Amino acid sequence: MASLIEIRNMCKIYNPGENEVRALDHVSLSIGENEFVAIIGHSGSGKSTLMNMLGCLDVPTSGIYLLHGSDVSLLTDDELSDIRNQEIGFIFQGFNLISNLTAFENVELPLIYRGVSKRERTHLAKEALRKVGLENRMTHKPSEMSGGQQQRVAIARAIAQAPPVILADEPTGNLDSHSSQEIMNILKTLHAEGRTVIVITHDNDIAANAKRIIHIEDGRITSDSANEGLSREDIAEEIRGNSTMYESNKESSSEAPELNQTEEIEPTYEPSADDYDLEINDNNIDLHLMNGENQNEQEE
């Protein structure tokens, strides 16, 4: 069976020249349909860079990305927009909700931009909010909800049009352990329904929910293994031992990851409607919420 995602020898170099940063260093990876993958690694290891590539939000410096067997670098901007809009649901750490809109309106907004009829988008938004257990919070604004509830609104927004692929970058990074587990249960359900779920996380407990764990360090994959009921300790051990179930493209790092990494949590990003990158061409509407740190990249 052809892979959903096939990456070969991908490199991403920011600021080529003297101060260049090699954020991805010859990464090769394939992910099949309906996999549930966690990508873990220290801060700065290249996780978000990889996610931006997977989500067609940025382009690699070199290497190949085949999505459904098509070389992404050969697609037109319109075709890439279609992929982002129809194939991928994005979930970010900072929720990226619009503060003066209700939960319902936040979920509905991308559907408006995509030209979905009022009747259909009301149905889709309500159904998505019901799915994440927020049927009683539809008229609440983000400031009237807990962090976990806000992230569930963001998930409802991502899944309203049932994209086959869910890409989540630190979806539980700003949440307590109870809310984190709720979010993971939702992601597990989405996987059980047949979607491909790719979640980026620092947290080994969160990674333990996935069926496959990829560890990235200094822009290279250092281990890639099936997760058959591993505990967080097993995962740390797995990373130390450089599991070989899937091909790895780097020698094992001798340094074990810390189990309880403390991470400086960025303040919650409060976007406005202007933060939506909206391109309307004749037949094509491209809407994606700019993720603060990538904004400059995408504007190039």
Ligand X SMILES: Nc1ncnc2c1ncn2[C@@H]1O[C@H](COP(=O)(O)OP(=O)(O)OP(=O)(O)O)[C@@H](O)[C@H]1O
Q: Which residues bind Mg ion (CB under 5 A)?
A: 48
Give phi and psi for 76, each to the nearest 5: -75, 165
Give yes or no for residue 218 binding ligand X (CB under 6 A).
no
Residue owning tokens 């031992």: 241
Q: Is 144 helix (H, G, I), strand (E, B) or coil?
A: helix
Please choose, from the candidates 98, 102, 96, 107, the residue with its C-alpha nearest in 3D space to the C-alpha of residue 129.
Answer: 107
With respect to ligand X, which residue has the nearer C-beta, 39 or 160? 39
Using CB under 6 A, which of 44, 100, 194, 298 touches ligand X?
44
Tokens of 144: 């009237």
With respect to ligand X, which residue has the nearer C-beta, 76 or 260? 260
Task: Tell me if 69 sits within 8 A of 2, measured CB to CB.
Answer: yes
Give phi and psi for 16, each to the nearest 5: -55, 140
Q: Is 86 helix (H, G, I), strand (E, B) or coil?
A: helix
Give yes or no for residue 16 binding ligand X (CB under 6 A).
no
Tokens of 153: 């609104």
Give yes or no for residue 172 binding ligand X (CB under 6 A).
no
Give yes or no for residue 262 binding ligand X (CB under 6 A).
no
With respect to ligand X, which residue has the nearer C-beta, 33 or 297? 297
Size of the site for ligand X (CB under 6 A): 13
Using CB under 6 A, which of 27, 46, 65, 98 touches ligand X?
46
Give yes or no for residue 23 binding ligand X (CB under 6 A).
yes
Interacting residues with ligand X (CB under 6 A): 14-15, 21, 23, 41, 43-49, 297
